[in-house]
Structure 1
Amino acid sequence: MERSELLDIVRRPLSPDTRLEVPASRAEYERVQEILKIEEAKYPQLWYDGTRSVAIVVAPPTPLHAGIAGGLLTSILREVLVNSGVSLEIAGGLRIESDSETTMNNTTRASDGALLYWEGDRATLMIAVEVAVSQSYDSMRAAISWSVCALRCRLGLAMSISEESRGRRPPGRFYMTLEHANAAVDEARDDFYRQLLQHPYGPLERDGVTWFGRVSRVVLQTYRREDEHCAPETLLEPTQSFELVENGEYVAQNISPNLREVVLGDCIPTHLLNNRHIEATPVNFFQRDWFETQFRGLVVRTAILRLWRNTSYGQPIP
């Protein structure tokens, strides 16, 4: 195989949540993808944008990224199962799926998560979710537009999380034994939770190092198709935009307890509901307490992951 810039980039160590776009032909993408499949490596993942002839190299998500995507879908599913009023037989057709790649029109992508409805052996994509943590907004918007337009899902949910710079690269941390390293990490975890009581959206600092930067902004947006026949490559504008966090503070007045945009008809195919009133019933899945509790735990887990990546232990070589 001739030298490939794409393969070189795939071989580099990538920080969590990194997404790199590399100009490449479909043939080069398929060659490198085949190498990754042979190696059975879950990450990095490789997607392809046939419209722009660009390969997208996707590093593993941070706990914050993965947890928020899964948490949004789990909260929606819980509300449908418990509070929607539909039968258990119908609600039982809902499933959450993550990291499922789809190829269409020379483009291969995967959403961070999706809610599907299964009828027999046939699945219908209902809601797709994308999360961006200090990632290009344009990239996130393109990804959620693809799910809505190309895959014809009912609704797209996208959350953009902006973490401020953490400053200097942290020095390595060395401990004589694994027990000492674990004890230091446990102390850091407790300290991070105490810090969040004072400033719920960071920063998290320890020993002069910022392990998670202050969250300056969190925005939750919804996306719907402009019409039933929009092209797969359409770049949608959000239909609603809710600013949850601004300058490290929750913006309570900007969001109602119910987003008023996610309804039962987004979760279950219309022909099964057969009632316009039920179809338009809001799914009251977003509550501030749930969001802040989930967010706080995931921020600490992400900070601890970064700390562990800079930690080593064992007897030094004489």
Structure 2
Amino acid sequence: MEYSELLDSVRRPLSPDTRVEVPASRAEYERVEEILEREEAKYPRLWYDSTRSVAIVVAPPTPLHATMANGLSSCIIREVLLNSGISSEIARDLYNDSDSETTMNNTTRASDGALLYWEGDRATLMIAVEVAVSQSYDSMRAAISWSVCALRCSLGLAMCIREESRGRRPPRRFYASLEEANAAVDEARDAFYHQLLQHPYGPLEIDGVTWFGRVRLVVLETFRGQDKHCTPETLLEPSQSFTLVKNGEYVVQNISPNLQEVVLGDCIPTHLLNSQHMEATPVNFFRREWFETQFRSSMVRTAIRRVRQNTSYAQPVPR
């Protein structure tokens, strides 16, 4: 195979949550995708945007990214299942999916999370979820817009997270054995949880080194297509936007649990619901307690992963 900038980008080490766009033809994308499939590696993942002729190399998500994406859709499903007007036959066909990949009009990509509804052997995408930690807001908005406009899902739900700079690169930590390294990691985890008592949204630090920067901003937004004939390349504006965290503090305000917009008709095909009233029933899924618990534990897990990635220990000498 001749030199490929795309293959070179796939082989290059990527920081978690990174998305790299590489100009490439569809044929080159398919050749590199075939190589990744043979290697059976879950990451990096490869998507293709035919409207711009670029391949998108996707690095593994941080625990914060993955947990919040999965958690948002899980909360919605849980509230739907608690609705007394939904029969068990309908409820059992609603699924949370974090691994689906969709191809349409020569474009291939996936959402960070998704609510799917299965009818027979056919799945319908109902709500797409995107979480952005390090990627640009424009990239996230383009991704959620594509799900809503190209895949015709009912609603897009996006969480934009901004972590402040961690400053200098952490020094590598060396230990005499695996046991010592694990003990140091456990000590770091305890220290991080203790620090959250004083500053719930970071920073998380050890010996002057920041392992997770202070959370500058968390915004939760909904995206809904106003025109059912909108083209796949349409860039939507958010229909609702709520700031949850600003400059390391939770923003105390009257946030409607269903964000004033998420309804049963977004989660279940409307022809399966028995009335327009049922279709418009709010899904009250957002809870501050859930958000704070999930978010903080995921911050610590992300910081601990960074600690482990910068930890070395002496291997035992073979006898």
TM-score, length basis structure 2: 0.97
- Deviation (angstroms), 1:31: 1.1
Corresponding residue for residue 268 of structure 1: 268
Written as runs of structure 1 = structure 2, the 5 A alignment for 1:230-245 is 230-245=230-245
Q: Which amino acid aligns with 1:35?
A: I
Q: In structure 2, how many angstroms separate the alpha carbons of the residues matched to 1:66 and 1:193?
A: 20
1:117-266 matches, cutoff 5 A = 117-253=117-253, 255-266=255-266
Q: Within 5 Å, give how 1:87-126 maps onto structure 2.
A: 87-126=87-126
* SS across alignment from 2:165: coil
Shift of 1:258: 3.3
Letter in 1 for 2:106: N
Which region of structure 1 is more displaced relative to structure 2, 78-87 or 294-303? 78-87
Q: How does 1:15-26 map to 2 (within 5 A)?
A: 15-26=15-26
1:184–1:134 CA distance, 2 compared to 1 (3 A):
same
Post-superposition, which runs of at least 4 consecutive aligned residues in structure 1 deviate over 6 A? none
Shift of 1:235: 1.0
SS at match of 2:253: helix
Q: What do residues 71-110 of structure 1 show as CA deviations (whole Å, max 9, x unaligned)? A: 0011111111123531111111101111211111121101
CA apart distance, 1:255: 2.0
Write the distance in 1 (CA, Å) between the matches of 2:104 and 2:272. Answer: 28
Give the root-mean-square deviation of aligned CA atoms.
1.2
Confirm or deny: 8 A CA contact 1:84 1:264 kept in the other structure. Answer: no
Q: In structure 2, what is the equivalent of residue 55 of structure 1? A: 55
Instruction: Supply the distance in 2 between the matched residues of 1:105 and 1:278 (Cα, whole angstroms).
Output: 34
Unpaired runs of 5+ residues, structure 2, are none
1:288 paired with 2:288, answer yes
List gaps (5 residues or longer) in structure 1.
Answer: none
Q: CA contact under 8 A between 2:64 and 2:295: conserved in structure 1?
A: yes
What is the CA distance between 1:254 and its match in structure 2? Answer: 5.7
Paired residues, number: 317
Q: Which moved more, 1:286-295 or 1:175-184?
A: 175-184
Which whole-Å CA distance do the structure 1 matches of 2:14 and 2:254 have between them?
Answer: 36
Question: 1:242–1:254: 8 Å Cα contact kept in structure 2?
Answer: no
Of 87-96 and 66-75, deviating more is 87-96
Inter-partner Cα distance in structure 2 for 1:121 and 1:308: 43
Deviations 1:125-163 (A, max 9, x none): 110000000211011001111111111100000000000
CA distance 1:294–1:233, change in 2 (3 Å) = same
CA gap of 1:235–1:251, structure 2 versus 1, over 3 A, is: same
> 2 CA distance for matches of 1:70 and 1:149?
22
1:36-55 CA-partner distances (Å, limit 9, x unpaired): 11111111111111111111
By how many angstroms is 1:256 displaced? 2.6
Q: Read off the aligned partner of 1:128 and give its amino acid letter.
A: A
